[in-house]
Amino acid sequence: MTNYNVDVKNQDNTNMLSIAVREKISHLNTEYWTLHGTDVTALQLDRITVQIAQYRVLAAQLDVSYQINNQKAWSELGDGSAVDKADAAVRRAQIAKCKAIVDRDVTTLKEAQEKCTTSRRAERDARNAS
């Protein structure tokens, strides 16, 4: 698996995985905001933030996979007309957009992981100091 492509050749499987991932993201977002009302540590919030970021990367990768498979399917049906070529250009632009979203989400994930590591160190240091 690269940064941009989850190896799922079947569109139905891609769609089912995408739905499951988005449901997990929704569940984690609910959990994140529910924790704000309780006595929660920064580390707990950061851990959930990392999980959300991981699932967002996976969702973006699934979107790329879907768009690539969609492009291949439509390319096979086209007759090479100007309209088909323009539609193909639009689909390639959509793939590029999805790849940019993956890049953004990977960056967000790295930042969340760094923040979680910092929180973990701070919590450990506070525990060791007492």
| Statement: residue 1 has pLDDT above 50 | no
In a domain, 31, yes or no: yes
Average pLDDT over residues 15-22: 88
Residues 115 and 47: beta-carbon distance below 8 Å = no
Average pLDDT over residues 17-25: 91
Nearest of 46, 55, 28, 56 to residue 111 by alpha carbon: 46
Nearest of 12, 21, 10 to residue 72 by alpha carbon: 10
Q: pTM for the whole thing?
A: 0.81
Helix (H, G, I), strand (E, B) or coil at 1: coil
**What count of residues does the chain have?**
130
In a domain, 40, yes or no: yes
In a domain, 4, yes or no: no
pLDDT at 109: 96
In a domain, 98, yes or no: yes
Task: List, for residues 25-69, the tens digit of each pLDDT value.
Answer: 999 999 999 887 778 888 899 999 999 999 999 999 999 888 888
In a domain, 5, yes or no: no
pLDDT at 94: 93
In a domain, 121, yes or no: yes
In a domain, 47, yes or no: yes
**How many structural domains compose the chain?**
1
Domain hosting 15: range is 11-129
Q: Output the DSSP codes for 54-86.
A: HHHHHHHHHHHHHHHHHHHHHHHH--S-HHHHH
Cα three-residue angle 55-60-66, rounded to 5 degrees? 125
In a domain, 1, yes or no: no
Task: List, for residues 74-114, the tens digit of each pLDDT value.
Answer: 777 777 788 888 888 999 999 999 999 999 999 999 999 99
